[in-house]
Amino acid sequence: MSAAGASFLFLLLSTVAAASSITTLSSDIAALKAIKSSIKPTTIPSYTCLHSWDFTSDPCSPPRVTHFLCGVTCSGNRVTQLTLDPAGYVGTLSPLVSQLTQLITIDLTDNKFSGPIPSSLFFLPNLQTLNLGSNSFSGVIPPSVSNLKKIQTLDISRNSLSGSLPNTLTSLSQLTRLDLSFNKLTGPIPGLPKNIIQLALKGNSLSGYLQKQSFQGLTQLETVELSENSLAGTIPGWFFLIPSLQQVNLAKNSFTGVEIFKPIDSNLVAVDLGFNRITGYPPTNFSAYPMLASLTLSYNKLRGRIPWEYSKKPTLSRLFLDGNYLIGLPPKEFFSGKTSISGSLGDNCLKLCPVSSELCVKSQKPLSICKQAYRGKLKPKS
Contact residues for ligand NAG, defined by CB under 6 A: 259-262, 285
Give the residue with the Cβ less far from ligand NAG, 139 or 304: 304
Compute the least distance from the CB of residue 197 to ligand NAG, in Å. Answer: 26
CB 167 within 8 A of CB 144: no
Compute the least distance from the CB of residue 259 to ligand NAG, in Å. Answer: 6
Compute the least distance from the CB of residue 284 to ligand NAG, in Å. Answer: 6
Compute the least distance from the CB of residue 250 to ligand NAG, in Å. Answer: 17
Give the residue with the Cβ less far from ligand NAG, 259 or 333: 259
CA proximity to 307, closest of 287, 291, 289, 290? 287
Give the residue with the Cβ less far from ligand NAG, 199 or 260: 260
* C-alpha atoms less than 13 angstroms from C-alpha of 15 in its C-beta half-sphere: 9
Strands 294-296 and 325-328: unpaired
CB 162 within 8 A of CB 185: yes
Strands 112-116 and 105-107: unpaired
Give the residue with the Cβ less far from ligand NAG, 262 or 301: 262
Residue 236, Cβ neighbours under 10 Å: how many?
18
Give the residue with the Cβ less far from ligand NAG, 65 or 264: 264
Give the residue with the Cβ less far from ligand NAG, 123 or 261: 261
Give the residue with the Cβ less far from ligand NAG, 39 or 235: 235
Compute the least distance from the CB of residue 301 to ligand NAG, in Å. Answer: 16
Compute the least distance from the CB of residue 286 to ligand NAG, in Å. Answer: 10
Give the residue with the Cβ less far from ligand NAG, 261 or 374: 261
Q: What share of the chain is helix, strand, coil (3-state, %, to 5)?
A: 20, 25, 55
Q: What's the CA gap between 130 and 127, in Å, rounded?
A: 7
Compute the least distance from the CB of residue 367 to ligand NAG, in Å. Answer: 29
DSSP 39: B
Q: What residue is closest to ligand NAG based on CB?
A: 261
Which residues are CB-neighbours of 85 under 8 A, at least 6 positions away? Answer: 48, 49, 50, 70, 71
Q: What's the CA gap between 381 and 304, in Å, rounded?
A: 6
CB < 8 Å & 24+ apart, contacts of 74-80: 74/22, 74/24, 75/102, 76/22, 77/22, 77/23, 77/24, 77/25, 77/28, 78/24, 78/25, 78/28, 78/102, 79/24, 79/28, 79/31, 79/32, 79/103, 80/104, 80/105
